[in-house]
Amino acid sequence: MKDSVTTNPFGQPLTEIKGKPGIIWGNVVVPASGRSKITIKLLDDLLQTRITLAYGLENKEIYTRLDDIGSIEIVEGRLWWLLWLGLATIGVYLIGIIFIVLFLFIKQRWIVIYAKSVNLVVFYNKAENVEQFRTTVLAALR
């Protein structure tokens, strides 16, 4: 996935990130299925979020006030649900071994923006762009 704004030599703040949406189930973060896309854009005192699910069949647009944002979390790690799924299905023709091996080799990165009414999750590829976006949002909060 390509981020919409790249680092420029003039030091302009990064106001938009793109990636794949995620879902929070309890304490587990799971990427959305299919060819889903998410774009989060900083507009003055709002975060505009556009989510397009599976071939554009469903579109969602969310506006979040910056005052409602409680915290921003950047995470890099394993998808623990793969391990638990592997352990749960280990007895079914040993298919669980596939999930356990995937758990060991797949490492993903995501950012979670916690707001009062919604949690925005974006799985991304370029860490430096997300860190610049976080810095821009935190500067706008001040």
Phi, psi at 88, each rounded to 5° = -70, -30
Is there a domain that residue 23 lies in? Answer: yes
Higher pLDDT residue, 18 or 125? 18
Higher pLDDT residue, 75 or 127? 75
- CATH number reported for the structural domain that contains residue 62 in this entry: 2.30.29.30
Does 19 have pLDDT greater than 50? Answer: yes
Q: What is the pLDDT of residue 2?
A: 42
pLDDT tens per residue, range 24-70: 888 888 888 778 999 999 998 999 999 998 777 889 999 999 999 99
Is there a domain that residue 55 lies in? Answer: yes
Is there a domain that residue 58 lies in? Answer: yes
Phi, psi at 103, each rounded to 5° = -60, -40
**Quick one: how far is CA 79 from the chain centroid?**
13
DSSP string, the chain: ---SS---TT-PPP-EEEEEEEEEETTEEEEPSSS-EEEEEEETTEEEEEEEEGGGTEEEEEEEEGGGEEEEEEEEEE-HHHHHHHHHTTTTTTTHHHHHHHHHH-EEEEEEEEESS-EEEEEES-HHHHHHHHHHHHHHH-
Is there a domain that residue 137 lies in? Answer: yes
Is there a domain that residue 5 lies in? Answer: no
pLDDT tens per residue, range 112-130: 999 998 999 999 988 888 9
Is there a domain that residue 8 lies in? Answer: no
Q: What is the pLDDT of residue 11?
A: 66
Query: How much of the chain, in percent, has pLDDT values that exceed 90?
Result: 54
Task: Name the amino acid, one letter, at 99.
Answer: F
- The tally of domains found in the chain comes to 1
Q: What is the pLDDT of residue 28?
A: 80
Does 85 have pLDDT greater than 70? Answer: yes
Both tokens assigned to 104: 């060991």
| Structural domain range at position 23 | 16-76+109-141
Is there a domain that residue 96 lies in? Answer: no
Is there a domain that residue 52 lies in? Answer: yes
Higher pLDDT residue, 45 or 12? 45
